[in-house]
Amino acid sequence: MSPAFREIDNCVTAPKGFRAGGIASGIKSDPNIKDLAILASDVPCVTAGTFTTSSTRAAPVLVCQERLKSGRAQAVIVNSGNANCATGDQGLMNAYQMTKIAATLLHIEPELVLCSSTGIIGRQLPMEKIEAGAPRIALSYDQGNTFSETIMTTDTRPKRIALEFEIEGKAVRLGGVTKGVGMICPNMATMLCYLTTDAAIEDEWQQSELRAAVTDSFNMVAVDGDMSTNDTCLLFANGLAGNTPLNAQHMGAETFRAALRHVTQYLAREMARDGEGATKLMTVHVRGGRDKHDAAKAARGITLSPIWKCALAGEDPNWGRIVAALGASGCELQQQSYDIFIGDVQVMQQGTAANYDQASAKAVMTEKEVVITIDLHIGNGEATAWGCDFTHGYIDENTLYTR
Amino acid sequence: MSPAFREIDNCVTAPKGFRAGGIASGIKSDPNIKDLAILASDVPCVTAGTFTTSSTRAAPVLVCQERLKSGRAQAVIVNSGNANCATGDQGLMNAYQMTKIAATLLHIEPELVLCSSTGIIGRQLPMEKIEAGAPRIALSYDQGNTFSETIMTTDTRPKRIALEFEIEGKAVRLGGVTKGVGMICPNMATMLCYLTTDAAIEDEWQQSELRAAVTDSFNMVAVDGDMSTNDTCLLFANGLAGNTPLNAQHMGAETFRAALRHVTQYLAREMARDGEGATKLMTVHVRGGRDKHDAAKAARGITLSPIWKCALAGEDPNWGRIVAALGASGCELQQQSYDIFIGDVQVMQQGTAANYDQASAKAVMTEKEVVITIDLHIGNGEATAWGCDFTHGYIDENTLYTR
């Protein structure tokens, strides 16, 4: 991390003027598990979003996309336990109703409220539980962690971070939370992610920076290759830090960009590490690609390969599977001139087996984090992707989900 | 099956003038498991092939592609236990040497011999074992089944079929074998597949018919979404049935096409049924798609979804995962107007939950074969794809493969 950033507490409520809270409303079958949360700013925010590209988008995604045409929002209400997807007109009405419930509580216009849902697909939201539960949410300026816990589904732990840094000599904060450890696929979008900042930012620059950061973070994570119907990533900027609004020419643009990348890549890596059933984090660096896009294709291809993910689980340095995944990825490749490293052990040199110590390669595979490096020796394209291993735990998590 | 076809024995040696044999040469660690086989015609054949589109193609694939520029071949030598992939110049020389060994035994030109390898990637072939073993292969006109057993890797059983039918009043035979139950992904190519016929066929028509049949069979199978480096499908036609050569205008063209489709789709389905760790065959029919290509995209998307494959293993009719996979597939879809059936139970109607009996849906999921039908209500495109469930067995098969 750049010395210019300081890690601080309270994730999405670390920036000035953001409050959050969450409660157990009974949407989930266990009445003790929190499942309904609100995150709100004291003032309207410049707000950017990226969403799933699925053609079976859930109702709350449609609501966010509609409302963000204005580029302004002030709050989001989120439930876990039910995805409000494949729920037709009723589902869409329920999503709008959720925003209205939150707006009434917050004394703001419903048009400034967004919503998200995550959980089982194909069931209508229990609106009476949301109506009854929402007024019990006590919002406060230090409950970002509660918010991060309330949005979890099969996650084993919350994923959250906040940074403090300076722009124009003023303290600026950026916080983030994410959830999602299954139905995760790169090159599409992310799962639920909420980012808050008290920086002032111009609309267009904020949207383009968010999109670029998501491309290099959440779009580079794979747990299983399944894209979700509910993927949403929102960045709220309320301007309470008092800086002049950031744009591409601003002196502080580079600092904010670096902070945003740090936060999104940290959260992306934590999603992969907590992948359903995962015991290991895999990081794949590709360099020497034709261009960045091609390097990304190669890196993502390897994180997506079930057969290599199984080798990782078995701590088996069977790099032939990396070769197969690389070949299938569609990246440009010269069969006589690419190198593969597992950790610091070079297992392949110029397209054939390197002369390496099998015991060293096995030793690297026993680590909790395994880094694969590939040099394609074609151009200057570089990319990094994150994934995890594939275990009985994934199968178990997903064979009995709705029971 | 059309009443015009009769199923017969001996798979690839059922057509007139084809001999085969296989032995244990010691390439595999268990000296009792067969791993080296030859399939040969008495006379040169018009020969068509389709191959992996991977950019890390194995040496034997490169040899087949080079040799099939002539459209003629007479034999193929195949080993299991070693893929001869990522083996550089030495691997390529070894592949050519394999064809030379077989050519010498068969007293034919090496240019008429093809080769295939399947197994672990990244190790050089033990050529001394192939040199010593090949002369022990006793070729005969009824050893097609031995051939089908010798090419297996993680397959639990051989996959083979032969049909007899009439063209111009003459008996014509078409036989086929395939192997491969892991590293299987649609829209690419197939694993190893050998097809033989004694029909006389014109070159170009044979290649185009093979490509079309593979598109609707092997390219519609998914076990895990991993494309292999060694995928190969060959069709040898030696003309010994005595018919006038088949082409698009031939009276027998439709019969041969139907037979070829029956054989390739039968073998494709058997690959899915025997998928690593599989306990269930999944067949996905999509109708009402914008066109055939779009319907195929949707069908394949569902067979590829790890999360739905786990639901299938758990016999859980959690059709929300079909919705997610369908949305991610990239097919054209109208959210308010598509239907989903699990077996004969309609679980979704016009984009939302149908009013169905949960017990009936669960009962369908307990069957050994589960058919999913999707009607997109957009156009007339139809397609069928095959896959399997995702179990601990797949993980076990792939965590310790090279040990």
CB contact under 8 A, B85 and A351: no
CA A167 to chain centre: 26
CB A144 within 8 A of CB A20: yes
Contacts of B182 in chain A (CB under 8 A): 307
CB contact under 8 A, B400 and A316: yes
Q: At what angle do helices A306-313 and A292-304 cross, to 10 degrees?
A: 60
Highest mean pLDDT among A353-357, B49-53, B119-123, B223-227: A353-357
CB A73 within 8 A of CB A45: yes
Q: Which of A227, A352, A391 sits opposite B328 (nearest CB)?
A: A227
What is the b/e burial string over B124-135, where b = at least 16 CB atoms within 10 angstroms of the residue's CB? ebbeebbeebbe
CA angle (A89, B298, B377) in 5-degree steps: 50
pTM score, two decimals? Answer: 0.79
How many other C-beta atoms can be found within 10 angstroms of the C-beta atom of residue B357? 9
Residues A285-311, mean pLDDT to the nearest whole number: 91
Interface of A with B in 212-231 (CB under 8 A): 224-229
Place of tokens 């194995």: B58
Residues B272-290, mean pLDDT to the nearest whole number: 91
CB B216 within 8 A of CB B265: yes
CB A180 within 8 A of CB A271: yes
For residue A27, the SS3 value is coil
Q: How far apart are the first and last CA of chain B?
A: 43
**Which runs of consecutive H residues, i.e. helices, occur in B82-224?**
88-106, 127-133, 144-150, 203-215
Residue A185 in this model has a pLDDT that exceeds 60:
no
CA B71 to chain centre: 21
pLDDT of residue B187: 44
Place of tokens 């009723």: A90
CB contact under 8 A, B320 and A348: no
| φ, ψ dihedrals at B9, nearest 5° | -85, 170
Residues A280-308, mean pLDDT to the nearest whole number: 92
CB B367 within 8 A of CB B343: yes
Q: Which of B320, B392, B402 sits opposite A120 (nearest CB)?
A: B320
Could you tell me which of B242, B263, B244 has the C-alpha nearest to residue B253? B244
CB contact under 8 A, A224 and B56: no
CB contact under 8 A, A402 and B318: yes
A93 touches chain B (CB under 8 A): no
What is the least distance, in Å, from the CA of B2 to any CA of chain A? 37
CB contact under 8 A, B56 and A323: yes
pLDDT of residue B189: 43
Average pLDDT taken over every residue of chain A? 88
CB contact under 8 A, A316 and B57: no
Residues A346-361, mean pLDDT to the nearest whole number: 93
Supply the DSSP symbol for A143.
Answer: -
pLDDT of residue A282: 94
CB B304 within 8 A of CB B325: yes
If you measure CA to CA, which chain A residue comes closest to B335? A56
A325 touches chain B (CB under 8 A): yes
pLDDT of residue A14: 93
Cα B347 to Cα A150: distance, rounded to the nearest angstrom: 30
Instruction: Note the pLDDT tens digit of each residue in A31-80.
Output: 999 999 999 999 999 998 888 777 778 899 999 999 999 989 999 999 99
A324 touches chain B (CB under 8 A): yes
Residue A182 in this model has a pLDDT that exceeds 90:
no
Average pLDDT taken over every residue of chain B? 88
If you measure CA to CA, which chain B residue comes closest to A351? B86
If you measure CA to CA, which chain A residue comes closest to B231? A324
Contacts of A91 in chain B (CB under 8 A): 352
B394 touches chain A (CB under 8 A): yes
Q: At what angle do helices B320-328 and B306-313 cross, to 10 degrees?
A: 160
Could you tell me which of B198, B159, B156, B230 has the C-alpha nearest to residue B45? B198
Q: Which of B55, B395, B403 sits opposite A333 (nearest CB)?
A: B55
pLDDT of residue A187: 44
Supply the DSSP symbol for B355.
Answer: -
pLDDT of residue B186: 45
Supply the DSSP symbol for B243.
Answer: P
pLDDT of residue A304: 86
Q: Which of B54, B88, B321 sits opposite A328 (nearest CB)?
A: B54
Q: Which of B306, B323, B352 sits opposite A229 (nearest CB)?
A: B323
What is the b/e burial string over B311-347, where b = at least 16 CB atoms within 10 angstroms of the residue's CB? bbbbbbbbbbbbbbbbbbbebbbebeebbbbbbebbb
For residue B379, the SS3 value is coil
Contacts of A401 in chain B (CB under 8 A): 310-311, 314, 316, 318
Interface of B with A in 333-362 (CB under 8 A): 333, 335-336, 348, 350-353
Contacts of A120 in chain B (CB under 8 A): 318, 320
A22 touches chain B (CB under 8 A): no
If you measure CA to CA, which chain B residue comes closest to A121? B320
Contacts of B335 in chain A (CB under 8 A): 55-57
Contacts of B314 in chain A (CB under 8 A): 398-401, 403
Q: Which of B52, B226, B319 sits opposite A305 (nearest CB)?
A: B226
What ipTM describes this predicted complex? 0.74
Residues B232-254, mean pLDDT to the nearest whole number: 88
B378 touches chain A (CB under 8 A): no
Catalytic residue among B13, B99, B190, B197: B190
Amino acid letter, A221: V
**CA atoms within 13 Å, Cβ hemisphere of A362:** 8
**Which runs of consecutive H residues, i.e. helices, occur in A158-291?**
203-215, 253-273
If you measure CA to CA, which chain A residue comes closest to B302? A226
If you measure CA to CA, which chain A residue comes closest to B328? A54
Pairing of strands B170-178, B159-167: antiparallel
How many other C-beta atoms can be found within 10 angstroms of the C-beta atom of residue A82? 25
pLDDT of residue A225: 66
Residue B327 in this model has a pLDDT that exceeds 80:
yes
Which of A148-152, A184-188, B148-152, B390-394 is predicted with the least confidence, judged by mean pLDDT? A184-188
Q: Where are the beta strands (DSSP E) in B275-332?
A: 281-289
